[in-house]
């Protein structure tokens, strides 16, 4: 477990289930009861049909890099020691888009369409972050 001095999630009631599952190393997301579309943990309505009816369901954790950027400047001081670092949008096999990080030795090896799978980083006794590694 690492000591983190970075901003950590402070979820309200809605996405709290996501973070509780992550702490157990499970990836669960809301899935629309109306059309079956999986969505991001903090999205209150379905991006496909607009319904707000859903169930939290287990995800496979597999997906692909949909977009990414590499930061060479720290806009938050806590990230200075990690430059350069990446922020990626991963499209899960179930269709949901998640913003995260690709855990990779060389950020310049990330590619759009690259297969990735979820991994979990326990950053404190109460917080676990969902990240992705190349498959």
Residue 4 has pLDDT above 70, yes or no: no
Tell me the mean pLDDT in the region 45-66.
97
What is the pLDDT at residue 108? 84
Cβ-based neighbours of 113, under 8 Å, separated by 6 or more = 64, 65
15 pLDDT band, cuts 50/70/90, is: confident
Angle at 109 between CA 103 and CA 115, to 5 degrees: 65
Is pLDDT larger for residue 113 or for residue 107? 113
Whole-number Cα distances in Å, 34 to 40, 46, 47, 118? 16, 9, 12, 26
Order of all β-strands in the sheet with 128-134: 97-100, 85-92, 62-71, 115-122, 128-134
- Contact between 24 and 130 under an 8 Å Cβ cutoff? The reply is no
φ/ψ bin of 84: left (φ > 0), alpha (ψ from -120 to 50), beta (otherwise): beta
Q: pLDDT: is 24 or 14 the higher one?
A: 24
- What average pLDDT does the structure give for the chain? 91
Which pLDDT score is estimated for 102?
97
pTM for the model stands at 0.89
Quote the percentage of the chain above a pLDDT of 90.
76
CB atoms within 10 A of CB 27: 23
């Amino acid at each position: 477990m690492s000591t983190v001095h970075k901003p950590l999630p402070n979820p309200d009631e809605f996405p709290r289930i996501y973070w509780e599952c992550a702490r157990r190393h499970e990836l669960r997301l809301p899935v629309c009861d109306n059309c079956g579309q999986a969505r991001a943990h903090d999205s209150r309505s379905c991006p496909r049909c607009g319904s707000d009816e859903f169930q939290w369901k287990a995800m496979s954790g597999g997906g692909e890099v949909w977009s990414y950027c590499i930061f060479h400047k720290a806009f938050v001081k806590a990230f200075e020691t990690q430059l350069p670092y990446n922020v990626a949008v991963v499209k899960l096999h179930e269709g949901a888009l998640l913003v995260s990080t690709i855990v990779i030795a060389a950020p310049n090896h990330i590619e759009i369409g690259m297969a990735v799978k979820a991994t979990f980083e326990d950053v404190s006794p109460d917080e676990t972050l969902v990240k992705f590694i190349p498959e």
